[in-house]
Structure 1
Amino acid sequence: MEVLKPWMEKGFVTLQDIRDQERFDGYYHNQFLIVNDCMHRYRFVAKWMLFFDVDEFIFMPKKSTIQPVFDSLSDFTQFTIEEMPMSNKLCHSQDARLAFRNEDLD
């Protein structure tokens, strides 16, 4: 929240807590429901919507912005950005036992 709050106050970020909805459906199916809900709520407000996980990002080379990319795609209703793995050596098999999900914290 410390990171999000300034962006929320400027109106750049809207936070919708959807954690309780996961108990009604499976995670990935629920993810599609949430994306559809977002598109429905903001379809007349947002020019572009980007959906990605918090550990993903769009890389732009120095001295460039994403605006020319959006401008070049203005005739399209949707587009997909191809995922580019940074490395296949980021995780080590010996670290697997250290990974956990939120349920493991309960």
Structure 2
Amino acid sequence: MSLRIKAVVDKFVQELKEALDADIQDRVMKEREMQSYIEEREREVAEREAAWKAELSRREAEISRQEARLKMERENLEKEKSVLMGTASSQDNQDGALEITVSGEKYRCLRFSKAKK
């Protein structure tokens, strides 16, 4: 009788070991699948981040170009205004004259009078 019990116990232990081995193999496979999935997601995120940074860099460069162009346009406008309208600036001379430059020609005005209506 004890041989039969021993055989049943040995068979049970063997089946238990096989079930544990199968469970361990299943867990190892799931861990590998999860690791593979995580690596793939990290790669996708890194690619999107690189694309986003490249786009950001391109836009920043475009903004810099536009700012430089606007600055040049503003400077050109100021030059045109200076040439077309002339510039007036109060001089800190002893005589209190106002100096006006029109198209590169300088004029000095010592007295002012109110315009007649």
TM-score (norm 1): 0.19
Report the structure, 1 or 2, having the larger strand content.
Answer: 2
Higher helix proportion (structure 1 or 2): 2
TM-score (norm 2): 0.17
